[in-house]
Amino acid sequence: MTWRSGAVALVVGALWAACGEDNGKAAPALDGSVVSAGDPALAAPDAGGVTPTWYGHIQPILHEKCSACHRPDDIAPFSMLEYESAAPFAKLMVQSVEQGRMPPFFARETPECTPKHPFDDDPRLTPAELKLLKAWADAKAPMGDKASAAPFKEPPPVDIGRADVVMGLPEPIVVAETGKGDLHTCLIVDPKIEKDGYVVSRQVTSGNPKVLHHVTTYVVSQALADGTVITREQMNEAFKKAKGAIVGERYDCFGGPTLDGTGLRYSLLGSWAPGAGPVTSPPDSGQPVTAGSVVVLDLHYHPIPSGPETDSKTTYALQFADTIPKLIATPIFQGYADAASPVHSESPFGTADLLLQPGETQPEFLIPPGATKHVEQWTFKWKLPQSPLKIYFASSHMHYAGVDLMVQLLNGTPQPGEDPVECLERTPAWDFNWQLGYTWDVPYEGLPTLNDGDTIKVTCVYNNSRENKAIAKALDEAGKTDPIAIRVGEDTLDEMCLSLMGISYPNAAYYNQSAPTP
């Protein structure tokens, strides 16, 4: 294995839903057919007449694949560490695995998308493991002999390796229905970074999963956009003038952190959504952060009808590299471009385009009410006059109407024998509650490569009807009977079609360590 970027984390209620409730999202494929939420690779082989037991066969499987969450006092509703707590749920385990709900890992290999390399830390059960689990459940979950228990492996960690900095909320945030939609607020936090360094891991821990929709984080240098170093007082003046807040305070930030107005130098540090865990860079890589930098937490909350909720416990943790790494590794968002309101339509690094769909006279991001297989697509053509980039993880983001998302790399200048299209990841049974990041089990050199002229293409499929239980629930909560047209937007009842990727390239500071850290 290589490194881990998408550990699992979720609230108990949503996990119960994943274990035992049909969410109505058998995803429409891009060719119009229906892709099952179950994995075809899980067709069970012959178990050879063996009657599996907990200690002889099942405990090692569940410990490695499931116990990271299914342990006492953790996010899952029951523990799988001990026979007594796991055995009563044997049938439910089989059902959840066969339906592709558990373990939570929603990337799938399909005819339209088979990545070049297997996924790293893939928790899905093998056909043989599923066969054993099913035979054990059918045999009424026999315990077996503890004295001759089979050995087992520890599951991958779901927490940051070492928290060098932990940022929290200075005061509780109350989330209540105001008639004005979701709450978008940005908190400027001082992580007290005293020397230049490189972030290698990031982790958001949700303080109230009932209402916290997502967190996007930005690092703001104690410098102007042109690199001129300024004092903390000057930084506060810039924040106060543009946002009406200083370090330690919050400001309204619908539509993003809107930091360009401050004149300060900033960059994306990370993003969290339900189901995501710590994001870790490849070995010997990190994202540069200079001394005196502050972090802006862009917090998006979605009020619920049952009444006001309070978040006082959300935290953001960072781990720093011990030495200057050989590689820079940083996350980037890539988004759609709506003809009516361009988003990232042009940048120094490329051009985004929303693609024309059947029935459109011009590209427009609009999901009609009642549509069950509506498709939106966009591309981003890269301008990379210098060195190519490596892609070390891929993730995706939609809201409640989303059912299927695919990210492809289109090779602008394929060499003889090269495939002009490389699929990075596809989630044909998209689930808002499990927005994971996916890496590939391959050495750094074998990672997907972005060259000048290459294009990232993202295809999103939506079900804006009551067949989609997430939409039905959202409509009921809003007091609406029929679906409404959905457009691009930040609120939970709007939609998105985003790709979050990790990119990496050589670190000049490593090769010239007498030079200042960038």
HSE-CB at 48 with a 13 A cutoff on CA atoms is 5
Task: Quickly list H helices, 206-281.
Answer: 232-243
Neighbours of 142 (CB within 10 A): 16
Residue 286: burial class (beta carbons within 10 Å; 0-12, 13-18, 19+):
buried
How many helical (H) and strand (E) elements, i.e. helices and strands, does the chain have?
8, 27
**Beta bridge partners of residue 461, listed in sequence order:** 375, 404
Decide: 449 and 289 in contact? Cβ < 8 Å: no
DSSP labels, 160-212: -S--SEEEE-SS-EEE---SS-SEEEEEEE-----S-EEEEEEEEE-S-TTTE
DSSP assignment letter at 57 = I
How many Å from the N-terminal Cα to the C-terminal Cα in the chain?
30
- Residues 247 and 275: their CA atoms lie apart, in Å, by 29
- In 294-413, DSSP assigns E strands to 294-301, 309-311, 315-320, 327-334, 346-347, 350-354, 366-367, 374-382, 389-397, 402-410
- Residues 9 and 399: their CA atoms lie apart, in Å, by 18
DSSP labels, 4-44: -----B--HHHHHHHHH---S--EEPTTSSEE-SS-GGG--
Task: Give the pLDDT score at 437.
Answer: 81
Q: Residue 10: what residue type?
A: L
SS3 263: coil
- Residues 324 and 284: their CA atoms lie apart, in Å, by 8
- Domains along the sequence of the chain with CATH: 12-148 (no CATH), 159-323 (2.60.120)
Q: Do the strands 279-280 and 197-205 form a parallel or antiparallel pair, or are they unpaired?
A: antiparallel
Task: Give the pLDDT score at 18.
Answer: 30
Neighbours of 338 (CB within 10 A): 19
Which residue from 93, 81, 156, 101 is spatially nearest to 130, judged by alpha carbons? 93
- Residues 507 and 200: their CA atoms lie apart, in Å, by 14
Tokens of 512: 């010239």
For 298, 383, 408, 472, the CA distances from 389, given in Å and listed in that order, are: 27, 11, 15, 42
- Residues 257 and 268: their CA atoms lie apart, in Å, by 10
pLDDT by residue, tens only, the chain of 518 residues: 233 333 322 222 222 233 333 334 433 333 333 223 233 333 333 345 568 898 888 998 988 888 777 877 666 788 888 889 889 999 999 998 888 888 888 888 899 999 999 988 788 888 889 999 999 999 999 998 888 888 877 766 667 879 999 999 999 999 998 777 788 899 999 999 999 999 999 999 888 888 888 898 999 999 998 989 999 999 999 999 999 999 999 999 876 788 888 999 999 898 887 666 788 888 899 999 999 999 999 998 988 888 899 999 999 999 999 999 999 999 888 776 665 555 555 566 788 888 999 989 988 999 999 999 999 999 999 988 777 999 998 988 898 899 999 999 999 888 777 789 999 999 998 887 777 788 899 999 999 999 999 999 999 999 999 999 999 988 887 788 899 999 988 777 789 898 889 999 999 898 887 544 44
Residues contacting 359, CB < 8 A, separation 6+: none
Which H helix or E strand runs over 213? strand 212-224
Residue whose entry in the numeric block shows the structure tokens 């860079």: 281
Q: What is the pTM of this model?
A: 0.75
Does the CA dihedral 266-267-268-269 come out positive or negative? negative
Tokens of 386: 């210098």
- Residues 438 and 8: their CA atoms lie apart, in Å, by 11
Tokens of 207: 């303080």
Length of the chain: 518
Q: Do the strands 294-301 and 183-189 form a parallel or antiparallel pair, or are they unpaired?
A: antiparallel
